[in-house]
A and B are shown apart, each in its own frame.
Chain A
Amino acid sequence: MNTADQYLKAIYLVQELEDGPASTGAVADQLDVSPASANEMIGKLESDGLCDHEKYKGVDLTQEGIVRARDALQHYCIIERFLLEVLEVEEFRAEAGQLEPVIDETVAERLDTIIDRAPQCPDCFDHEADVCRLLAIDREPADAD
Protein backbone atom coordinates (compact mmCIF):
# COMPACT_ATOMS: atom_id res chain seq x y z
CA MET A 1 0.00 0.00 0.00
CA ASN A 2 1.48 3.34 -0.96
CA THR A 3 2.06 6.21 1.47
CA ALA A 4 -0.87 8.31 0.21
CA ASP A 5 -3.30 5.44 0.81
CA GLN A 6 -1.92 4.88 4.30
CA TYR A 7 -2.57 8.56 5.06
CA LEU A 8 -6.09 8.42 3.61
CA LYS A 9 -6.86 5.38 5.76
CA ALA A 10 -5.47 7.10 8.86
CA ILE A 11 -7.51 10.28 8.21
CA TYR A 12 -10.64 8.18 7.65
CA LEU A 13 -10.14 6.29 10.93
CA VAL A 14 -9.46 9.48 12.90
CA GLN A 15 -12.53 11.13 11.36
CA GLU A 16 -14.67 8.17 12.35
CA LEU A 17 -13.34 8.29 15.90
CA GLU A 18 -13.65 12.08 16.24
CA ASP A 19 -16.91 12.21 14.30
CA GLY A 20 -15.70 15.27 12.42
CA PRO A 21 -12.56 16.66 10.81
CA ALA A 22 -9.30 14.94 11.75
CA SER A 23 -6.65 17.04 13.48
CA THR A 24 -3.21 16.88 11.88
CA GLY A 25 -1.74 15.84 15.25
CA ALA A 26 -4.09 12.88 15.54
CA VAL A 27 -3.26 11.77 11.98
CA ALA A 28 0.47 12.09 12.77
CA ASP A 29 -0.02 10.03 15.95
CA GLN A 30 -1.96 7.37 14.07
CA LEU A 31 0.88 7.00 11.59
CA ASP A 32 3.71 7.54 14.08
CA VAL A 33 5.17 10.38 11.99
CA SER A 34 6.00 14.01 12.81
CA PRO A 35 3.24 16.64 12.47
CA ALA A 36 5.41 18.38 9.83
CA SER A 37 5.48 15.22 7.70
CA ALA A 38 1.74 14.76 8.14
CA ASN A 39 1.13 18.40 7.12
CA GLU A 40 3.22 17.99 4.00
CA MET A 41 1.39 14.86 2.85
CA ILE A 42 -2.02 16.31 3.71
CA GLY A 43 -1.13 19.28 1.47
CA LYS A 44 -0.38 16.85 -1.39
CA LEU A 45 -3.62 14.95 -0.83
CA GLU A 46 -5.52 18.25 -0.84
CA SER A 47 -3.98 19.31 -4.14
CA ASP A 48 -5.01 15.92 -5.56
CA GLY A 49 -8.60 16.61 -4.53
CA LEU A 50 -8.67 13.83 -1.94
CA CYS A 51 -9.21 15.99 1.17
CA ASP A 52 -9.98 19.52 2.35
CA HIS A 53 -7.75 21.02 5.00
CA GLU A 54 -8.77 24.00 7.08
CA LYS A 55 -6.27 25.43 9.57
CA TYR A 56 -7.33 25.13 13.23
CA LYS A 57 -10.19 22.87 12.16
CA GLY A 58 -8.70 19.78 10.59
CA VAL A 59 -8.87 17.52 7.57
CA ASP A 60 -12.03 16.28 5.86
CA LEU A 61 -11.83 13.61 3.17
CA THR A 62 -13.61 14.37 -0.08
CA GLN A 63 -15.91 11.73 -1.58
CA GLU A 64 -13.04 10.49 -3.74
CA GLY A 65 -10.78 10.40 -0.69
CA ILE A 66 -13.34 8.38 1.26
CA VAL A 67 -13.60 5.80 -1.53
CA ARG A 68 -9.80 5.36 -1.60
CA ALA A 69 -9.57 5.29 2.20
CA ARG A 70 -12.20 2.57 2.43
CA ASP A 71 -10.36 0.53 -0.23
CA ALA A 72 -7.15 0.91 1.77
CA LEU A 73 -8.96 -0.16 4.94
CA GLN A 74 -10.31 -3.21 3.15
CA HIS A 75 -6.78 -4.14 2.10
CA TYR A 76 -5.64 -3.75 5.69
CA CYS A 77 -8.49 -6.02 6.82
CA ILE A 78 -7.45 -8.62 4.24
CA ILE A 79 -3.88 -8.60 5.58
CA GLU A 80 -5.05 -8.91 9.20
CA ARG A 81 -7.47 -11.71 8.40
CA PHE A 82 -4.94 -13.54 6.20
CA LEU A 83 -2.30 -13.39 8.94
CA LEU A 84 -4.70 -14.81 11.51
CA GLU A 85 -6.66 -17.32 9.42
CA VAL A 86 -3.95 -18.67 7.13
CA LEU A 87 -0.60 -18.05 8.82
CA GLU A 88 -2.08 -18.24 12.35
CA VAL A 89 -0.11 -15.22 13.54
CA GLU A 90 -0.97 -14.28 17.11
CA GLU A 91 0.24 -10.69 16.81
CA PHE A 92 -1.65 -10.18 13.57
CA ARG A 93 -2.59 -6.56 14.28
CA ALA A 94 0.96 -5.39 14.88
CA GLU A 95 2.29 -7.42 11.96
CA ALA A 96 -0.41 -6.19 9.58
CA GLY A 97 0.73 -2.65 10.30
CA GLN A 98 4.35 -3.58 9.61
CA LEU A 99 3.56 -5.46 6.40
CA GLU A 100 1.01 -2.98 5.05
CA PRO A 101 3.56 -0.79 3.19
CA VAL A 102 5.02 -3.83 1.38
CA ILE A 103 1.75 -5.53 0.40
CA ASP A 104 0.30 -4.00 -2.76
CA GLU A 105 -3.46 -3.95 -3.37
CA THR A 106 -3.20 -6.53 -6.17
CA VAL A 107 -1.43 -8.88 -3.78
CA ALA A 108 -4.03 -8.23 -1.06
CA GLU A 109 -6.79 -9.02 -3.54
CA ARG A 110 -5.16 -12.37 -4.36
CA LEU A 111 -4.82 -13.21 -0.67
CA ASP A 112 -8.50 -12.34 -0.39
CA THR A 113 -9.34 -15.37 -2.56
CA ILE A 114 -8.50 -17.75 0.29
CA ILE A 115 -9.98 -16.01 3.33
CA ASP A 116 -13.50 -15.54 4.65
CA ARG A 117 -14.28 -11.82 4.59
CA ALA A 118 -17.75 -10.46 5.19
CA PRO A 119 -19.46 -8.55 2.35
CA GLN A 120 -19.96 -5.51 4.60
CA CYS A 121 -16.19 -5.04 4.98
CA PRO A 122 -14.84 -2.48 5.96
CA ASP A 123 -17.94 -1.32 7.87
CA CYS A 124 -17.31 -4.05 10.45
CA PHE A 125 -13.89 -2.59 11.33
CA ASP A 126 -13.59 -1.60 14.98
CA HIS A 127 -11.46 1.54 14.83
CA GLU A 128 -10.53 1.57 18.50
CA ALA A 129 -9.59 -2.09 18.67
CA ASP A 130 -7.86 -1.89 15.26
CA VAL A 131 -9.51 -5.10 14.11
CA CYS A 132 -12.60 -6.41 12.31
CA ARG A 133 -15.39 -6.98 14.82
CA LEU A 134 -16.24 -10.24 13.10
CA LEU A 135 -12.76 -11.67 13.34
CA ALA A 136 -12.64 -14.41 15.90
CA ILE A 137 -9.98 -12.90 18.11
CA ASP A 138 -10.77 -15.25 20.94
CA ARG A 139 -9.18 -18.05 18.97
CA GLU A 140 -5.86 -19.12 20.35
CA PRO A 141 -3.70 -19.57 17.28
CA ALA A 142 -0.15 -20.76 17.44
CA ASP A 143 2.42 -18.43 15.91
CA ALA A 144 3.64 -19.43 12.46
CA ASP A 145 7.27 -19.54 13.44
Chain B
Amino acid sequence: MSVQSSLASDHQLARLLQIGVVLEEVVEARAAKHASESDDIGGEVRALLEAAVAESADHRDRLEGLVDELDAETVGFAEIERLVEKQYEAEEAFDGVLYDQLCNEETAYKFYDDLIEAIEGSNARFSVDRGRLLRILREVRADEAEGVEAVTDLMERGQR
Protein backbone atom coordinates (compact mmCIF):
# COMPACT_ATOMS: atom_id res chain seq x y z
CA MET B 1 0.00 0.00 0.00
CA SER B 2 1.22 3.48 -0.68
CA VAL B 3 -0.08 6.93 0.07
CA GLN B 4 1.29 8.17 -3.24
CA SER B 5 -0.74 8.20 -6.43
CA SER B 6 1.90 6.06 -8.06
CA LEU B 7 0.93 5.70 -11.69
CA ALA B 8 4.26 4.30 -12.70
CA SER B 9 3.82 1.85 -15.55
CA ASP B 10 1.93 0.84 -18.67
CA HIS B 11 0.44 -1.97 -16.61
CA GLN B 12 -1.13 0.40 -14.06
CA LEU B 13 -2.31 2.77 -16.76
CA ALA B 14 -3.91 -0.11 -18.65
CA ARG B 15 -5.63 -1.29 -15.48
CA LEU B 16 -7.11 2.16 -14.83
CA LEU B 17 -8.28 2.43 -18.43
CA GLN B 18 -9.85 -1.03 -18.10
CA ILE B 19 -11.76 0.29 -15.06
CA GLY B 20 -12.83 3.29 -17.17
CA VAL B 21 -14.18 0.90 -19.83
CA VAL B 22 -16.16 -1.01 -17.19
CA LEU B 23 -17.59 2.24 -15.79
CA GLU B 24 -18.72 3.23 -19.29
CA GLU B 25 -20.23 -0.21 -19.78
CA VAL B 26 -22.13 0.13 -16.50
CA VAL B 27 -23.47 3.55 -17.60
CA GLU B 28 -24.42 2.16 -21.00
CA ALA B 29 -26.17 -0.90 -19.58
CA ARG B 30 -28.03 0.94 -16.80
CA ALA B 31 -29.16 3.82 -19.04
CA ALA B 32 -30.35 1.35 -21.70
CA LYS B 33 -32.20 -0.62 -19.04
CA HIS B 34 -33.91 2.51 -17.69
CA ALA B 35 -34.88 3.65 -21.20
CA SER B 36 -36.40 0.30 -22.12
CA GLU B 37 -38.11 -0.57 -18.85
CA SER B 38 -39.33 2.69 -17.32
CA ASP B 39 -42.82 3.36 -18.65
CA ASP B 40 -43.38 6.59 -16.76
CA ILE B 41 -40.47 8.66 -18.08
CA GLY B 42 -40.99 11.66 -20.32
CA GLY B 43 -39.65 12.27 -23.81
CA GLU B 44 -36.80 14.51 -22.69
CA VAL B 45 -35.57 12.00 -20.12
CA ARG B 46 -35.79 9.16 -22.63
CA ALA B 47 -33.81 11.21 -25.16
CA LEU B 48 -31.18 11.96 -22.52
CA LEU B 49 -30.82 8.29 -21.65
CA GLU B 50 -30.53 7.29 -25.29
CA ALA B 51 -27.86 9.95 -25.83
CA ALA B 52 -26.04 8.68 -22.73
CA VAL B 53 -26.02 5.14 -24.11
CA ALA B 54 -24.52 6.33 -27.40
CA GLU B 55 -21.98 8.56 -25.67
CA SER B 56 -20.81 5.79 -23.35
CA ALA B 57 -20.39 3.42 -26.28
CA ASP B 58 -18.23 6.06 -28.00
CA HIS B 59 -16.13 6.62 -24.84
CA ARG B 60 -15.71 2.89 -24.46
CA ASP B 61 -14.42 2.59 -28.01
CA ARG B 62 -11.89 5.34 -27.44
CA LEU B 63 -10.66 3.84 -24.17
CA GLU B 64 -10.51 0.35 -25.69
CA GLY B 65 -8.25 1.74 -28.41
CA LEU B 66 -5.83 2.99 -25.75
CA VAL B 67 -5.98 -0.28 -23.78
CA ASP B 68 -5.27 -2.16 -26.98
CA GLU B 69 -2.20 -0.02 -27.65
CA LEU B 70 -0.98 -0.93 -24.16
CA ASP B 71 -1.23 -4.60 -25.13
CA ALA B 72 -4.01 -5.37 -22.65
CA GLU B 73 -7.60 -6.52 -22.98
CA THR B 74 -10.94 -5.24 -21.75
CA VAL B 75 -13.99 -6.96 -20.31
CA GLY B 76 -16.66 -7.54 -22.96
CA PHE B 77 -19.87 -5.49 -22.78
CA ALA B 78 -22.05 -8.62 -22.65
CA GLU B 79 -20.37 -9.70 -19.40
CA ILE B 80 -20.86 -6.29 -17.74
CA GLU B 81 -24.44 -6.16 -19.03
CA ARG B 82 -25.04 -9.53 -17.32
CA LEU B 83 -23.58 -8.25 -14.02
CA VAL B 84 -25.61 -5.03 -14.20
CA GLU B 85 -28.76 -7.02 -14.93
CA LYS B 86 -28.13 -9.30 -11.94
CA GLN B 87 -27.71 -6.43 -9.47
CA TYR B 88 -30.46 -4.34 -11.07
CA GLU B 89 -32.99 -7.06 -10.37
CA ALA B 90 -31.76 -7.36 -6.79
CA GLU B 91 -32.11 -3.63 -6.06
CA GLU B 92 -35.01 -3.11 -3.71
CA ALA B 93 -34.83 0.62 -3.19
CA PHE B 94 -34.44 2.74 -6.28
CA ASP B 95 -33.92 6.48 -6.17
CA GLY B 96 -35.16 7.25 -9.66
CA VAL B 97 -33.90 7.21 -13.21
CA LEU B 98 -32.50 10.74 -13.25
CA TYR B 99 -30.78 10.37 -9.91
CA ASP B 100 -29.13 7.15 -11.13
CA GLN B 101 -28.03 8.87 -14.32
CA LEU B 102 -26.61 11.77 -12.30
CA CYS B 103 -24.57 9.26 -10.25
CA ASN B 104 -23.35 7.70 -13.50
CA GLU B 105 -22.17 11.02 -14.93
CA GLU B 106 -20.67 12.33 -11.69
CA THR B 107 -18.80 9.10 -11.05
CA ALA B 108 -17.37 9.03 -14.55
CA TYR B 109 -16.35 12.71 -14.28
CA LYS B 110 -14.58 12.09 -10.97
CA PHE B 111 -12.83 9.00 -12.32
CA TYR B 112 -11.43 10.81 -15.38
CA ASP B 113 -10.50 13.86 -13.32
CA ASP B 114 -8.47 11.72 -10.89
CA LEU B 115 -6.92 9.72 -13.72
CA ILE B 116 -5.84 12.87 -15.57
CA GLU B 117 -4.34 14.25 -12.35
CA ALA B 118 -2.46 10.98 -11.74
CA ILE B 119 -1.06 10.99 -15.30
CA GLU B 120 -0.08 14.65 -15.06
CA GLY B 121 1.71 13.94 -11.76
CA SER B 122 3.55 10.89 -13.09
CA ASN B 123 7.03 10.91 -14.61
CA ALA B 124 6.55 7.48 -16.16
CA ARG B 125 7.05 6.97 -19.90
CA PHE B 126 4.03 5.22 -21.34
CA SER B 127 3.81 3.30 -24.63
CA VAL B 128 0.95 5.53 -25.73
CA ASP B 129 1.63 9.14 -26.62
CA ARG B 130 1.06 11.15 -23.43
CA GLY B 131 -0.34 14.18 -25.28
CA ARG B 132 -2.91 12.10 -27.18
CA LEU B 133 -3.78 10.12 -24.05
CA LEU B 134 -4.47 13.31 -22.08
CA ARG B 135 -6.37 14.90 -24.96
CA ILE B 136 -8.72 11.91 -25.21
CA LEU B 137 -9.27 11.77 -21.45
CA ARG B 138 -9.91 15.52 -21.22
CA GLU B 139 -12.46 15.33 -24.05
CA VAL B 140 -14.22 12.44 -22.33
CA ARG B 141 -14.16 14.32 -19.01
CA ALA B 142 -15.69 17.38 -20.70
CA ASP B 143 -18.51 15.16 -22.05
CA GLU B 144 -19.17 13.90 -18.53
CA ALA B 145 -19.27 17.46 -17.18
CA GLU B 146 -21.85 18.35 -19.85
CA GLY B 147 -23.76 15.21 -18.89
CA VAL B 148 -23.94 16.27 -15.25
CA GLU B 149 -25.21 19.67 -16.35
CA ALA B 150 -27.86 18.17 -18.64
CA VAL B 151 -29.20 15.83 -15.94
CA THR B 152 -29.19 18.58 -13.30
CA ASP B 153 -31.09 20.84 -15.67
CA LEU B 154 -33.79 18.21 -16.19
CA MET B 155 -34.02 17.55 -12.45
CA GLU B 156 -34.38 21.25 -11.69
CA ARG B 157 -37.16 21.52 -14.23
CA GLY B 158 -38.98 18.71 -12.47
CA GLN B 159 -38.73 16.25 -15.36
CA ARG B 160 -39.19 12.54 -14.70
Contact = CB atoms under 8 A, between A and B. Distances in A.
A102 interface: yes
Q: What's the dominant secondary structure at chain B's contact region? A: helix
B3 A7 contact: yes
A110 interface: yes
A144 B5 contact: no
B83 to A, nearest CB: 4
A30 interface: yes
Contacts, number: 95
B35 interface: no
B111 A107 contact: yes
Contact of A101 (B2, B18, B87): B2
A52 B22 CA distance: 40
B84 to A, nearest CB: 6
Interface in A3-59: 3, 6-7, 10, 30-33
A101 B19 contact: no
Contacts of B23: 107, 110-111
Interface string A107-145: 101110111000000000000000000000000000011
Interface of A: 3, 6-7, 10, 30-33, 82, 86-87, 89, 95, 97-104, 106-107, 109-111, 113-115, 144-145
